[in-house]
């Protein structure tokens, strides 16, 4: 049943994308990229990576993305680290979702 719902949602999303403005398509793409970055940061957090190592890696990023990446790192490392894989994956999904929603809301203003 879940597969049917997913198929319906994907079909509707594909149909609606053709009606989206170029600006909205660009916003969606940017937000998807940022939420992916947030997910990667939280994944590193959940795997036990040292915050200083992650910050060092981010310092090699382009200046245009460095600030938001550092903000995601600081937020992710304030969150609980889970030892159970299911909870770790759930926290990664929730962090990505939160980042996506915050991105969209920023552009809606």
Query: In this structure, how many other beta carbons lie within 10 angstroms of the beta carbon of residue 43?
Result: 17
Domain ranges of the chain: 21-108
Beta carbons of 100 and 34 less than 8 angstroms apart:
yes
> Which residues are within 8 A (CB) of 46 and not within 5 positions of it... i.e. 6 or more apart?
81, 82, 88, 91, 92
Whole-angstrom distance, CA of residue 8 vs CA of residue 28: 20
**pLDDT-based confidence at 5, cuts 50/70/90?**
very low
Confidence at 69, pLDDT banded by 50, 70, 90: very high
Q: How far, in Å, CA of 47 to CA of 108, rounded?
A: 34
Q: What is the pTM of this model?
A: 0.78
């Amino acid at each position: 049943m879940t597969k049917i719902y997913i198929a319906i949602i994907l079909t509707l999303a594909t149909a609606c994308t053709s009606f989206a403005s170029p600006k909205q398509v660009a916003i969606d793409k940017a937000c998807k990229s940022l939420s992916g970055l947030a997910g990667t940061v939280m994944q590193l957090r959940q795997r036990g990576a040292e915050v200083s190592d992650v910050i060092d890696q981010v310092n090699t990023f382009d200046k245009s993305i460095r600030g938001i990446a550092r903000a995601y790192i600081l937020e992710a490392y304030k969150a609980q680290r889970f030892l159970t894989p299911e909870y770790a994956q759930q926290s990664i999904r929730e962090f990505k979702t939160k980042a996506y929603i915050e991105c969209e809301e920023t552009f809606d203003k």
